[in-house]
Amino acid sequence: MSELEIIEAALFAAGRAVSLEKLMKITGMPKKNVSLVVRELMEAYSSRGSGIEILDLGERYVMQVKPEYSELMREVAPKELSAPKLRTLSMVAYHQPLLQSNLIEMRGSGAYDHIKDLIERGFVDSVPCGRSRQLSTTPLFADYFGLKRNDPNAIKEKIIELLKAQGGQSEIDLWIGKKIIAVTPMYESLMEMCGIKDYFVANAYCPSKEEISRLLEADVLVVTAGYLDAVKQHCDGEILEVRSTTFDDLIEAVSLLAEELPDEVNPKTVEKTLQKIRETREKYVSSALLVEKKVKPATEMVSKIVNDLNLRISTDGVLAAPDYGTSGKGVTIGKGAKILVPTHRTVEGDLLERVCKKYDSILEGLKNFEE
């Protein structure tokens, strides 16, 4: 049995990306040797005219059907369980019998779709139990995962055994309870504002191959509101949409994460963050009391800020518009505007700093006119 055969078998059996570290553990070889063997295997598949390919996702490797054959294989290939659905199924198996309401509390509202799919596939039974439903695994679950019997205790022991072999306690935490959180670059500072330590950053709007692979493993994805359709094709977990135009938007965003991710956020950090945002907002609103000049907002974004500052709005007021000039649809915005409000594309800093710069642009612009 050669190292090449072992790695080939591992990639075939995994059915998903396998990390370089995992292959090192399986083969007992150092990193450099594993990389060379994987490269040799990739070249072998490429040269033999196979319908299978091996992709390098950045020290993570996946064996898959070549894209040109994927549509032809749709009728014969089983629909695989995504990583989030597997974690939901693992929790049902580990804690069974498990109330659906308790599962949703642990996994988030995105688990409703997982439960529905798992029931339709025949892996999970669901029976009424008070105001909720009781979930448990089926004999098909045992058959699918190679277990001799559908006994809850045997299943729990098998899950722990597999997870310990894969990565010890950290792997158990990952599959039994802990959520994998993904966030777009703009909202990375939101993680710090909530005290969330474990997460990864990915461009969910236009992801790379490696990012797509990671996003499919995410239980929760945090994105800008309005981009749900653009990102849901890359994520099977729960998608949290947040806004960051005003101070109130930030308060809602922090509060949403605190509500949806109670085990991942730091309550003390959340409390301090909310207090800081409220105090900052009050300073700006107090400063706006001295401004008498009226404003003519060019967009809803600007209007939200103006209303939050309690400034007077008028059609003959000072025109204030976003600094991007042209919308995504090619429409010219705020031509001749006297005040340009910076957008996230043109300012740096954390979310709170970016919001402050927007408010500053309007207040400073109006004060210049009054002078």
Please answer whether residues 220 and 260 qualify as being in contact, where contact means their C-beta atoms are separated by less than 8 angstroms.
yes
Q: What is the pLDDT along the chain (371 residues), one digit of tens a residue?
A: 788 888 888 888 776 678 888 888 888 899 889 999 899 988 888 888 788 888 887 787 878 777 676 555 555 444 566 777 877 888 888 888 888 988 887 777 778 888 988 898 888 999 988 888 999 988 877 776 666 677 787 777 776 666 565 555 444 555 555 678 999 999 999 999 999 988 999 999 988 888 887 887 788 999 999 888 888 888 878 899 999 999 999 999 999 999 888 878 999 999 999 999 999 999 999 999 988 889 999 889 899 999 999 999 998 888 988 887 665 555 566 677 888 888 877 778 899 999 999 999 999 988 887 65
Q: Does a structural domain hold residue 278?
A: no
How many H-runs (helices) and E-runs (strands) does the chain carry?
16, 13
Residues 187 and 269 in one domain: yes
Residues 170 and 100 in one domain: yes
Spacing of C-alpha 298 from chain mean position: 32
Q: Does a structural domain hold residue 283?
A: no
Residues 69 and 106 in one domain: no
H or E segment at 151?
A: none
Amino acid sitting at position 319: L
> 118-148 b/e with 16+ CB inside 10 Å = b?
beebebbbbeeeeeebbbbbbeebbebeebe
Residues 27 and 95 in one domain: no
Residues 106 and 94 in one domain: yes
Q: Does a structural domain hold residue 242?
A: yes
When divided into structural domains, the chain yields a total of: 4
Quote the pTM value.
Answer: 0.59
H or E segment at 183?
A: strand 181-183
Residues 6+ apart with CB under 8 A from 345: 324
Residues 150 and 232 in one domain: no
> pLDDT tens across 344-353, in order?
777 788 999 9
Structural domain containing residue 202: 181-273
